Chains A and B, each alone.
Chain A
Amino acid sequence: MMTRDLLALGPMLITAGGAVVLLLALAVCRSHAFASAWSVLVLAAALAAIPMTWPGAPASGDLLNLLAIDSWALAFWGIIFGSALVVCLLGFEYFRPLAVQAEEFYVLVLLSATGAAVLAAADHFATVFLGLELLSVSLFALAAYRRDQAISIEAGIKYLVLAGTSSALLLFGLALLYFHTASLRLSGLAGPLLAGHPDTIALYAGIALVLVAMGFKLGLAPMHVWTPDVYQGSPAPVSALVGSVSKAGAMAFMVRLAGVTLTGTPGVRNGVFYGLLVLAIASMFTGNLLALRQPNIKRLLAYSSIAHMGYCLLAVLPMAAGAALDRQAVFYYMLAHAVSILGAFGCVCAASENGREAQHVEDYRGLAWRRPVLAGVFSLMLLSLAGIPLTAGFLGKFYVLASGVRNALWLPAVCLVINSGIGLFYYLRVLGTLYQREEAESPDQFATSTAPSALLQPSPQLLLTHLTLAALVVLLIYFGLMPALASLPM
């Protein structure tokens, strides 16, 4: 039993142990290259360990009261560790020219990936809380990582206050659920709910608080206010991490939660269903409408990710039916979103130089004429976010829409279609800017943004970033053409 437990935990143990070993290694001698290489190695090993544990361990022993290491969790571990790997690769050349000590970045990335992995597999209130805190505490340290910039500290503090509030609300909600059901297990929640306990205010308030807290984590509409600020203020690789790892872990847990509560008593089921429906529709419209006239590319991506989480909820809504198809739709959507958002922020990293991030859409004007390949990659990522065919984003959106139509969820499905149309506007606006020829040496151009043409010269030092982007493009096309991973049994 012991060895089987260890094997099941393998990928997570590798990242957790890797973080501790890296910390010790930093105590002995500091080396940015070593820290980066080590974390990439650790995450690659964790990824390689996932197929060995597939399709998850059968429930045995005390350990698996805490974690449900099933194929669902393992699939999301794939997204989480893969995204963290890409973030480490992007981080190396992002932090190299900066004056800040960059080694701890990798420790924090490993820890946040471990936290997201715990959250994705959590089946017990203790592990839910542990995973969420490990994820968010590392993230606010990461958001404020560029201490040389006021905006980064601001992002860290905003994330600290809002994430702290949301974890407290989550905990209180879990305590209320514990009070009502006498069980600390998430899957144990289904039993008492089904057994016809009288619904109390504690039950409703508990579920509502947990949903609100997870809405915070996912950046769903009324709780989205932190998202644009954190995306803008954090260093670009950290924004990529927030958009991929943190969202994947939270969404994996959200699906577990929905799966349990949507099979509860009629009162609970209706409450959760309509709650999620409102969140989904509100997120789609809020995200897309606020992105329409957004001049800052990082904020634009933040608003776009708010809308994307709203789209993804469409496939979470029918979770009561428990159809594997809906779960696969959520997984594929999160996979496609992770690849696209990592690629988009990777392009922001590649376009930035000497510590100054190319944040403004105007910085990208005429990028296609100066760095055509980078502009092409960026266009692909934006097209994938917009859901244009031949990209992963299209298939993800297609599966989610199919899931909505199959379950006759007409209202959110129609909202998704309308919002995809709205979304096209601002993605195409950025795309158009990329391909616009720069006005020849117009003087006001140089006055407004500090000489973008000089800053966006291709640089030979960004080899690793470019290779990473190339790999992401291959993945994007591969997932767009070959939906092999979409039919994983889960």
Chain B
Amino acid sequence: MNIPAGHVMIVAAVLLATGLFGVIVRRNIVLVLMSLEIMLNAAALAFVAGGSARGADGQVMFLLILTLAAAEVSVGLALVLQLYRRFKTLDVSAAASMKG
């Protein structure tokens, strides 16, 4: 069965929107990080779809995104630990003291 690349792009766009929605509405920092990961994976999927007819370039970008997303989320998890140690909660709205 042959799925046109445009359809995969639509799936990727829906994934991106899902992730963005999650980042905006979620209060739990772990779920925010998961939503970020969904957004990055949506972009990675879009690269694979975009490159499906044009050699391996898109897939190399996918690998690059995979590894850098891991690095980003690891630093994110380290910050989650700090947040928990400091505020004893995973709710991001606990860390909202700065205004103005």
Seen from chain A, the residues whose Cβ lies within 8 Å of a Cβ on chain B are 125-126, 129-130, 133, 136-137, 140-141, 144, 147, 150-151, 153-158, 160-161, 164-165, 167-169, 171-172, 174-176, 178-179, 182, 184, 202, 228-229, 232-233, 294-296, 299
CA A112 – CA B76 in complex, angstroms? Answer: 17
CA A294 – CA B99 in complex, angstroms? Answer: 11
Are A137 and B72 in contact, with the CB atoms below 8 A? yes
Are A228 and B43 in contact, with the CB atoms below 8 A? no
Given that A140-B75, A161-B23, A184-B61 are contacting pairs, would A168 and B36 also be in contact in the complex, using a CB cutoff of 8 Å?
yes
CA A299 – CA B43 in complex, angstroms? Answer: 33
Given that A151-B98, A179-B9, A228-B100 are contacting pairs, would A129 and B64 also be in contact in the complex, using a CB cutoff of 8 Å?
yes
List 8 A-B residue pairs with CB atoms under 8 Å apart, sorted by A's residue number: A126-B60, A150-B95, A153-B82, A153-B95, A164-B40, A164-B76, A175-B47, A179-B9
CA A160 – CA B32 in complex, angstroms? Answer: 10
Given that A140-B75, A168-B19, A178-B50 are contacting pairs, would A161 and B95 also be in contact in the complex, using a CB cutoff of 8 Å?
no
Q: Which residues of A contact B78 (CB under 8 A)?
A: 141
Are B75 and A130 in contact, with the CB atoms below 8 A? no
Are B79 and A156 in contact, with the CB atoms below 8 A? yes
Smallest Cβ distance from A185 to chain B, in angstroms? 10
Smallest Cβ distance from B27 to chain A, in angstroms? 12
Closest A-B pairs by Cβ, 7 of them: A171-B43, A175-B46, A168-B39, A179-B50, A154-B95, A172-B43, A164-B36
Given that A126-B64, A168-B40 are contacting pairs, would A154 and B98 also be in contact in the complex, using a CB cutoff of 8 Å?
yes
CA A289 – CA B60 in complex, angstroms? Answer: 45
Instruction: Indicate with 1 or 0, residue by residue over B53-82, a CB within 8 angstroms of chain A CB atoms.
Output: 010011011001100100110011011001
Seen from chain B, the residues whose Cβ lies within 8 Å of a Cβ on chain A are 5, 9, 12-13, 16, 19-20, 23, 29, 32, 36, 39-40, 42-44, 46-47, 49-51, 54, 57-58, 60-61, 64-65, 68, 71-72, 75-76, 78-79, 82-83, 86-87, 92, 95-98, 100
Q: Which residues of A contact B87 (CB under 8 A)?
A: 150
Residue in B19, B36, B58 whose CB lies within 8 Å of A178: B58
Residue in A133, A168, A172 whose CB lies within 8 Å of B71: A133
Are B46 and A153 in contact, with the CB atoms below 8 A? no
CA A147 – CA B80 in complex, angstroms? Answer: 12
Q: Is the interface of B mostly helix, strand, loop or mixed?
A: helix
Closest to B9 in A: A179
Are B98 and A137 in contact, with the CB atoms below 8 A? no
A/B pair count, beta carbons within 8 Å: 129
CA A214 – CA B43 in complex, angstroms? Answer: 16
CA A171 – CA B46 in complex, angstroms? Answer: 9
Q: Which residues of B contact A155 (CB under 8 A)?
A: 98
Q: Which residues of A contact B92 (CB under 8 A)?
A: 157, 161
Given that A157-B92, A157-B95, A175-B47 are contacting pairs, would A168 and B16 also be in contact in the complex, using a CB cutoff of 8 Å?
yes
Given that A175-B46, A299-B100 are contacting pairs, would A160 and B54 also be in contact in the complex, using a CB cutoff of 8 Å?
no
Residue in B19, B43, B97, B100 whose CB lies within 8 Å of A175: B43
Q: Besides A137-B75, A165-B23, 16 other CB < 8 A contacts?
A: A136-B72, A144-B79, A150-B87, A154-B98, A157-B83, A160-B76, A161-B32, A164-B40, A164-B72, A168-B43, A172-B16, A172-B39, A175-B47, A184-B57, A295-B100, A299-B100
Smallest Cβ distance from B87 to chain A, in angstroms? 7
Q: Which residues of A contact B72 (CB under 8 A)?
A: 133, 136-137, 160, 164, 167
Residue in A164, A175, A228, A299 whose CB lies within 8 Å of B50: A175
CA A293 – CA B21 in complex, angstroms? Answer: 33
Residue in A136, A144, A157, A178 whose CB lies within 8 Å of B29: A157
Are A202 and B9 in contact, with the CB atoms below 8 A? yes
Given that A171-B43, A171-B65, A178-B50 are contacting pairs, would A153 and B83 also be in contact in the complex, using a CB cutoff of 8 Å?
yes
Given that A133-B71, A160-B75 are contacting pairs, would A144 and B16 also be in contact in the complex, using a CB cutoff of 8 Å?
no
Smallest Cβ distance from A152 to chain B, in angstroms? 9
Smallest Cβ distance from A131 to chain B, in angstroms? 11
